[in-house]
Amino acid sequence: MAFAGAFEPVVRAAWATGLLTALLSAVLVARVLGMRRRLARAETRRQDVVARWRPILFEAIAGGSPHLPALPPEDEDAFLLLWVQLLDGIRGEPLERLARVGDALGAGALAAARLRREDALGHVLALRTLGYLGRAEDRAEVLRWLDDPRSYLSLAAARALVRIDPEGAPAELLPRLARRGDWPVPLFASVLGEASPPRVSERFAALCAALPGPALVRLLPLASIVDAHRVEPILAALLERADEPEVLAAALRQVRSPELLDAARRAARHASWSVRVQAAAALGRVGERADRELLAGLLRDAEWWVRYRAAQALAARPYGTSQEVLALAEASGDRYARDIVRQALAEVRS
Domain assignments of the chain as residue spans, ordered by start: 47-65+76-165, 270-350
Quote the CA–CA distance of 293 and 311 in Å, as a whole number.
12
Q: What is the mean pLDDT of residues 144-155?
A: 94
Q: How many helices (DSSP H) and strands (DSSP E) are in the chain?
A: 19, 0
Contact 164, 130 (CB under 8 A): yes
pLDDT digits (tens, 9 = 90+) for 266-308: 999 999 999 999 999 999 999 999 999 999 999 999 999 999 9
For 19-85, give the secondary structure using H, E and C.
HHHHHHHHHHHHHHHHHHHHHHHHHHHHHHHHHHHHHHHHHHHCCCCCCCCCCCHHHHHHHHHHHHH
pLDDT digits (tens, 9 = 90+) for 108-142: 999 999 999 988 899 999 999 999 999 999 999 99
Nearest to 159 by CA among 134, 137, 182: 134
Nearest to 185 by CA among 250, 280, 267, 279: 250
CA torsion, ordered 335, 340, 345, 347, to nearest 10 deg: 150
Quote the CA–CA distance of 197 and 224 in Å, as a whole number.
11
DSSP character for 211?
Answer: S
Residue 39 pLDDT level (bands cut at 50, 70, 90): low
The confidence score (pLDDT) of residue 330 equals 82
The confidence score (pLDDT) of residue 42 equals 65
Nearest to 207 by CA among 229, 230, 190, 188: 230
Quote the CA–CA distance of 79 and 130 in Å, as a whole number.
15
Nearest to 271 by CA among 304, 254, 288, 249: 249
For the chain, give the mean pLDDT: 88
Least confident of 107-116, 189-198, 312-321: 312-321
| pTM of the shown model | 0.76
The confidence score (pLDDT) of residue 331 equals 83
Quote the CA–CA distance of 135 and 97 in Å, as a whole number.
14
Quote the CA–CA distance of 83 and 134 in Å, as a whole number.
14
Which CATH number is 270-350 given?
1.25.10
pLDDT at 1 over 70: no
